[in-house]
Structure 1
C-alpha cells in the first residue's frame, strides 16, 4: 500500500482536526502544526508546536518536518480574521495575515516540494474563504484570502508537470471558534445569519473536510488550480455578516 503523509496547519481543532482524523482513518500519517496541543491523539499523529505568524519559526519547523517525513499532502488550514472597519485597519494587519495566509504555506511547500517532485505526486490545498469576494470589516482577511486564490493558481501551473495539484476550499460561515469569536454562539445574530444563507443553515467542519478529502484523493489528479466555495450558496449573491 502506498503511504501518504499529510501536513495540516491548524490541525489541532476544528476543520483541521476533523480532516486529520479522517485521513488517519484512511491510513495516512498526519503532522499537525499549531500553537497549542491538539484536541485529539492517535499513534499516526505528530504535533509540531509553531507560531505561523513567525516566519523564522515556520522555516525551522518546515525544515524539521521535511527532514523527518516524506510529505505528500500539504493542507494550509490555519487562519485568523482580525476584523476591523476600514478606518481602523492597519498595514500591520496586512503584514501579519500575509505571513499567516501566504508566507507560511510558501515556506512549508518549499521545504516539502523536493520530495513531491521526486515522487511525481503531491496534493497542496488551502483553506480560503468566501470572504475573498468581500465582507465588511475584513480588509486584511479578504485581501490575503483572495491572494491565496492567485497564488494557488500560479502554483498549479508550475507544479502540474510534476504530478502535484493545488486547490482551494473556500468556506462560508462555518461553526468554528474563529466564527464564534466574531458572532456569539447561540445568539440571535447567528440565527439570523443562518436564515440568510440560501441552504438555510451554517456550515459544519464536516462540510469543509468533505471538500478537502476530494482534493486529497490520489485519484483526483485532473483537478488543479480550482477554488471550491463550500458556503451553502453564499458566494452566489451578497451575504453580509
Structure 2
C-alpha cells in the first residue's frame, strides 16, 4: 500500500471508533482522530482534534484545519448518538441532536475532505450505520437517522463514482461497547433474548467492525460502492 494515505475517523476516542483507528494504523494508514475528548492513551504520533461534533460552527472550523494539512484518502463517519424510548416516550427535541450527530456531521466531513480526494483521484468514505435501521423497538429517532445513512451512502456512491471515490456503509448489530450497554439494560428480557438469538453464538466486538472498515478502505476495493454491509453475527438473517 502507498504510504501516507491519510484517513479521518470521527468518534475516535472509544469503542468502535477507537478500534477502527487502531486497525487502520496497523494497516499502514496515517490516521487522524476527532472526538469530544482525547483519550489519555492516544498515541502522540497520531493527530487528534478535540471538538463537540454536535456544534456545527466548531466542526466546520476544525475540519477546515484538518483539510488544510493534507489531502485525505479516507473518511470513516463513525460518531453517533443513541436516543432511546418507545413512541409514546420520544422526546422530539432529541431528534435534532440525532440528526446533527448521525447525519449532519457526516455531510460536513465529506464536504471538507472531498476536494482532497478528488485531487488524489481516489478515495474511500465509510459511513457507520446500524442494524437498527431495519427496525428496533424503542429506537424511533436512532433507527430513523441510521436508515438515512443508507440512503445517503447510495446517493453519494452514485455522485462520486466517476471521481474514483467509493462510498459504503457498515451496519453493526449488537457490539460490546459502552453505547450498547447504556442503551440495552442487561437485565431486560428483550436484551437477553436479543443476545441469545445471535446465530454465531456471541456478541460482536469492536474489532469485528474495524475489520469490515479495513476491507472497504483497501485500495483494491474499488469496484464495491453504494453497499450496506451488516456486521451482525447473522442476526439480520435470523430476524428475517
Which SS does the other structure have where 1:22 is aligned?
helix
Distance across 2 between alignment mates of 1:224 and 1:102: 19
Q: Report the equivalent of 2:49.
A: 48
Deviation at 1:43, TM superposition (A): 4.3
Kindly provide the CA deviation profile for residues 75-110 of structure 1, in whole angstroms up to 9, marking residues without a partner as x: 011112110111121332221111111100111111
Q: Secondary structure at the match of 2:149?
A: helix
CA drift of 1:64 comes to: 1.1
Instruction: State the partner residue of 1:26.
Output: 27
Alignment of 1:144-159 (within 5 A): 144-159=145-160
Provide the residue aligned with 1:78 in structure 2: 79
Residues matched between the structures, number? 238
1:130 and 1:80 map into 2 onto residues whose CA distance is: 14
- Asked whether 1:200 is paired with 2:201, we answer yes
Name whichever of 110-119 and 175-184 sits farther off.
175-184
Contact 2:199 2:238 in 1 (8 A): no
In the other structure, the counterpart of 2:135 is: 134
Q: Which 5+ residue runs of structure 2 have no aligned equivalent?
A: none
| Residue aligning to 1:5 | 6
Once the two structures are overlaid, the 10-residue window that deviates more, 172-181 or 38-47, is 38-47
Tell me the SS of whatever aligns to 1:45. Answer: coil
Map of 1:103 onto structure 2 = 104
TM-score normalised to structure 2 length: 0.94
Q: Which residue of 2 aligns with 1:123?
A: 124
Change (3 A) 1:218 1:44: farther
Contact kept? 2:71, 2:119, Cα under 8 Å: no
Divergent runs of 4+, >6 A: none
Residues 101, 34 of structure 1: alpha-carbon distance in 2 compared, 3 angstrom cutoff: same
What is the 5 A alignment of 1:186-225? 191-225=192-226
What is the rounded CA distance, in whole Å, between the counterparts of 2:160 and 2:53 in structure 1?
A: 24
Deviation at residue 38 of structure 1 after TM alignment: 2.4
Task: Work out whether residues 133 and 142 of structure 1, in 8 Å CA contact, stay in contact via their aligned partners in 2.
Answer: yes
Kindly report the root-mean-square deviation, in angstroms, between the aligned alpha carbons of the 2 structures: 1.7
1:30 is displaced (CA, Å) by 1.1
Q: Which residue of 1 aligns with 2:177?
A: 176
SS of the residue aligned with 2:19? helix
Q: Judge conservation of contact 2:71–2:120 (CA < 8 Å) in 1.
A: no
TM-score between both structures, scaled by the size of structure 1? 0.93
The match for 1:226 is 227
